Amino acid sequence: MRTARVERKTHESHVLVEINLDGQGIIDVATGVPFFDHMMSQLGKHSGFDLTIKTTGDVDVDSHHTVEDTSLAFGQALREALGDKAGIRRFGDSMVPLDEVLVQAAVDLSGRPYLVHRQPEIVELIGTFDTTLGKHIWESIVAEARIALHIRVLEGRNAHHVFEAQFKAVARALRDAVSLDGRVAGIPSTKGSL
């Protein structure tokens, strides 16, 4: 089983992430930031990962530290669950519609963090959630997972849909990239490591 358990403790938050890459999309997410819970639940469900996230943070200040630290812990858990990456497909991509929104995502489990993120201007708040954290979520995941991730919102105007379609598209791309491929012998790189 390709699993990981990561705990991250700071003066601002305490995060626990448990992940099983070969799961069934069983999710249990509670961060104290309801909209972020909804998004991370989409990531777990549509990737097929079993995902548990429990975070307590200084949400009385705002949601920034909780969202950032949870995203960093998720990225670390993904990296650790992948191990040496032997036998994986490595690359994954998807195109996901959600009503008026269309999102394209592509991932390379390369060992090198890089993010390209394109989305239209959207409202600053979805309920009480600060949408300016969107790109920062992906930056944090990418930094700790050490993956290359491209996300492009090709169409869309509703902020909730713009966010949700991104999480679903990344989930589907990750699902493909982490999949084991019987035709891959060892590490899928001419360098011999990822």
* Domain assignment present for 185: no
| Structural domain total, the chain | 1
**Residue 1 predicted with pLDDT over 90:** no
* Domain assignment present for 194: no
* Domain assignment present for 190: no
* Domain assignment present for 96: yes
Instruction: Please report how many Cα atoms fall inside a 13 Å half-sphere around the Cα of residue 94, on the Cβ side.
Output: 19
112: domain CATH number? 3.30.230.40
Mean pLDDT value across residues 62-74: 97
- Of 63, 68, 66, the C-alpha closest to 55 is 66
Please return the burial class of 149, using the count of CB atoms within 10 Å of its CB with bins 0-12, 13-18 and 19+: buried
Mean pLDDT value across residues 97-116: 98
Mean pLDDT value across residues 117-132: 96
For residue 148, the enclosing domain spans 3-178
Q: Residue 8 belongs to what H/E stretch?
A: strand 3-9
| pTM for the full predicted model | 0.97
Instruction: Please report how many Cα atoms fall inside a 13 Å half-sphere around the Cα of residue 146, on the Cβ side.
Output: 13
pLDDT of residue 193: 86
What DSSP character marks residue 115?
Answer: E
Mean pLDDT value across residues 23-31: 97
* Domain assignment present for 142: yes
* Domain assignment present for 67: yes
Mean pLDDT value across residues 145-171: 98
Provide the pLDDT confidence category of residue 192 given band limits of 50, 70 and 90: confident
Please return the burial class of 165, using the count of CB atoms within 10 Å of its CB with bins 0-12, 13-18 and 19+: buried
* Domain assignment present for 120: yes
* Domain assignment present for 192: no
